[in-house]
Every structure is written in structure tokens, then in C-alpha cells.
Structure 1
Amino acid sequence: MKHLLAALLVSLPLATPTLALAEPAVAVIGDYTFPQPIEGMPRKLSDFDGLEINSFTTNDGVRLGYWEAGTGDPIVFVPAWGASGAEMINQLWLLSRTHHVYVLDPRNQGTSERTEKGQRIARQSMDLSEFLDHIGTRKTVLVGWSMGVSVIWGYVDLFGTERISKAVFVDEPVSIYTHADWSEEDRRNAGGMTTSVERMIAAFAGAPTNQQVVDMKVVQRARMLDTPYAQNAMGLAGQIKPDPAHAMLVLFDHAANDWSDVIRTKLDIPVAVFSGEESNNLPSQDWIARTVPDGQLFSYSSADQGDHFLMQKNPIKFAADLRQFLAE
């Protein structure tokens, strides 16, 4: 269970950093031949010239890996729970044609260190702040997917938006946990998907459940690796050794947060929100786009793979829409 998608498939500093030498990605995880040849995309990992996996050390002594490629204005991706730069390989390839693209592997994910320390979104938000210090960017675009969006919301809550030019949120509920005193409209606007965080975590690990306890549509859509882009990304992710025990540690804190106050009061920058017809999160994503002062919703149809995994399944459209948003 090295990332959310695999888990669902199988179970149903401003600190002074210690630098690692920049290394080609193939030197870190080995070369890899993608199972689905796609015109215009690399056939093997070694075909991706300039793709590096580097690292830095946080102020609490944890080594975090990150992927980078390209030159130009920076874009920093924060991936979903369990995911890493491997799942973002299509975005790295496509967007590095015009930008300097980074993907930060969160602690206990991808190429980053396994640790019991800091199993909170707030700590991961601090990691993101230290990472921006490490790469020396003054302004950047931040792109979060799923839990990665929560990390960005936590960053904004702690540090504000001074270093963010624009933000992109891909299909993350405002609050995963549904409060008992909410109306149905409140629940839909928040994207609440469970009445019991413990039951949700158990269900994602394979325990029996039902739709009234946990919204399992994300599990159903995770099984549908029905585009060659997704198959290639997930195949590459399979080259990185999983650690389910450590990856699970942050889930309770992640699911229990309600970010509505940050969205209502602190997002004073242009925001793009991505979701689609095949995601039960869509009403909450629409609420985000309507609530922030300068928000835009990109809602994908079923034909466009509009679910929680839209970036992996339809990276060409996502990259085009992201470039449109950045150009505005």
C-alpha cells in the first residue's frame, strides 16, 4: 500500500538543510519501461532527460525526497496520501516543457524517509514551508491533490499566501468527517464522506463497510485504471517500496480537519479547483470555487475521466487546463 490508489486496489527548513547531491531519477529508482507506449511521452524513464530526485532534511531531522525537471517559473506539486512524484510522472513530463516543476514526496511516502515523527497535517505544512526555503523560490504556484490540498491549506493557515502566486486544488473535501449536527447541505458543501474516521481508515484497509458509514466511490474509481497514462504512472509507482504501517499514521489527523475557515478567510489569491462528474466531492469543490474571492472550477465529464484520479487518467487535459489558468 505505497499510495492511496494502490491501497484501494489491493484492499478492497526555515532550517538549514543537509543537501543530497542531485541525482538522475534512474540512479535512485532504476530505469523503467512504461507498459503502455504513448506518442509524445517517454518510453522509458531514462528517456526523460533532466528528471532528478533530490532530498533535503527538515528541522526535525527527517529526510524528504523531491522530484524536479524543467526550467522557468516554478510549480510545486504536493501529492495525495501515499503518493509521490512517480504518480505525477505525466505532469512532470508535460509541464516541464514550460516550467520548473517540483513534486515533494511527503514524509513516509515515495522516496522520503519512514518515520513516526510528525504525523500531522500541520507538520507536513511546515515541511512544505521548509521545502520552499530549500529551493529558494520567492513566488510559486502550489498544486495539491487530495491530502496534498490539505497540506497547502495548512500552509496558508500558518504562513499566509505571500509566497504563492496561484493555487490549484484537486478534489479534496473541505472536511472528510461529517459532523452530526450538520444539515445535508452542510455535508455536501464540506464533502463529508464518513461519520467515523476510524471506520473510514479500516474500510480503506479492507474492512467491510457500507455507503452510509463511508463513501466508497473513491475505491470504485481507483479500480478503473482505464487509461494508458494512469497505467504508466502507477507502474512506475510500483518501483518504490511501500510501507503501509508508516503511511497510515497521518490518516486520522488528515480526516479530522475542517478547513472551511481557511477557505472563507485566508485564500486571497487566484484559485483553480479540479473535480468531476464521477467524484462525490464535486459539490464541495464547487463551494470552494464560489467561496474564495477569485475561484474557478474545472469540472470534468465522465468521458474526460472526471474522478478523484483525473490527473493520472487524463494528464493531457489537466496540463492544458492548468496552463490556461496560469496564463489568465
Structure 2
Amino acid sequence: MKISPVEDLFSVINDTAVILQEELSLTFLEALAETGENIFQEAILQEEISELSRKRLKKSYESLTLARFSVEEIRKSFQLAILKGMKESVQPNHQMTPDAVGMLVGYLVNKFVTKPSYLLLDPAIGTGNLLTTVINQQEGKAIESIGIEIDDLLIKLAYINANLQQHPIQLYNQDSLEPLFIELADAVVSDLPVGYYPNDVRANDFQLKSEKGHSYAHHLFIEQSIKYTKEGGYLFFLIPNGLFESEEAPKLHEFLKEHVYIQAILQLPLTMFRHENAAKSVLILQKKGEQAKAPKQVLLATLPSLSNGHQVEKTLQKIDQWITENK
């Protein structure tokens, strides 16, 4: 049976990560970052490994020609390896945006952001999978991007991910809700981290802070993202379905009314999520500015199961028609 390029590359990444994991007593994800760096640098950078392991690694790496693979094949094989590692680790912040959702967001970015070159920001980049999925779909456009992530291991994996796919992404290892020393972005994509933000002192600087107790991190991320977006720029957020139903929702609604035009809310199929309370939607905003205007009506849609090609096609046609009429 012929194996696919993705499986072929995954097996090299996986096998070499396992060797480094055992040899250096690392977690699989840590070993994955190490082997990714070796592949990118075309060298074995770990000096403290045994001669036998060095020979095994060398043999695996020499069987690999990265130039044979497309950026999407590289992204998918690295993503498979990350998913394997995430099953082993139980950290709640180590979650990855499903591929079908990344593809949909990439499609939407392509439709809304029509500039031939622009700056794209992901303020919660994680391993870089959502951002690189989106970039890979913007054919014929010159895109620079910025990713911010507080988790040391995740940003290391994002760095490897960007290098292997040869994407120029500026990465910042910091709390995304602290002041950012970056250029304003033309567009933002983010799978919003949902939960409470522990730093009440910092939260005080935000309009969307909670009057009592910790503030919602996802509300603060929305405010921060809007702040670092150019006038007229677009923001694409993956949001919990109950975003506008919490006790803090009226304040969020007022804030959005003041700063942005809501373009669309697209509810993702419930079949994509294990539990209904984990279900998400795509929220599309445009920051107010001279060139920006409110749509005649907000695009509201519930997406069919993404395995139903015919229904998905019909929904995408509806989205295309709405964009034609409203832009």
C-alpha cells in the first residue's frame, strides 16, 4: 500500500522524536521541538546523545528531503505529531484548533481581506497551526505575520512550524494582554483562550474588566486585538457559543458597538465538538474607520456538518453572495 507524503514525513518526525525523547528523558512535545530544529538546521544539535542514537537519527534525517513536500504536507505531518504529544500531556491550554475550522477561517480571511500584501496577527498563536493554515490558503498574497504566546513550549513548536514551512512569522514569548510592541495589524485571527485572567492589576487597564472578581480572558483578548488592529482591519475570532449570554455580555456588546462593525457570526456544527458546551462559532468584526462601514445586515449562519460537501458548498455560496452584496 502506497503511503501518503504526510504519513511519510510524519513517520520520520515521529521516529526521530521518540529517539530523542528516550535518550534525553524529555516529553514527546519537547523532543518534537528538538527534532524539528534538527530537521530545519540539517544537523544533530544534541551533543549529549549516544553514538548509536546519533547514527539512527542521521539515517532517518538523510532519508528526508524537505523540498519534496508542500507547505500543507509539512504542516499536516507536524500537526499529527503535535496531536500525538498533546494526547500524552494533560495541560488544558494545550489544545489545537481542528483542521476543518482552520481551513474555514483561511477561506473567510481570503474573502474579506483583499489586499495583495498585509500584516496578520495571532495573539494566542499556540503551536502556530491555525495561523499557518490560514497563511497557506492566501495564494498570491505577500503576508507577514506576528504570533504571541506565553507558553514556552508552544511558542517553540510554533517557531519550528514556521521555519519548516518557511513562513516569516515574528514570534513574541509573552503575556498577550500586557502592552505589545508591535505594528498595527491589517487582520487578526485567533482561537480565543477561554477562561479567567488571573492578573487583576493588569485587567484594570481594560474597558472590559470585570467589576468583581477575575475578568474574562477572552473578553480582554478581543479588546486587545481590536486595539492592535488598523482602522478598517478585520478580526476573525473563534468564540464560545455562549459569548453573548454571560453576565459580562452587555458590557462586551456596548464595547463592540463603539469600536467595530459586526460582520458575521457563523456557528460551527455541533458534531465537531465532544460536548455542546464546548461548541464554537466564528465571529468576524471590522474595526471602525473611514473606509469601514456597517453591513446592510449581519451574516448569520449555522454551518452544516463539514463532511456534507453539498451542504457546505451551498453555505459557502451564501457567504460569497453576502460578501458581494455587502462589500
Bigger-Rg structure (1/2): 2
Q: TM-score, normalised by structure 2?
A: 0.32
Q: Which has the higher helix share?
A: 2
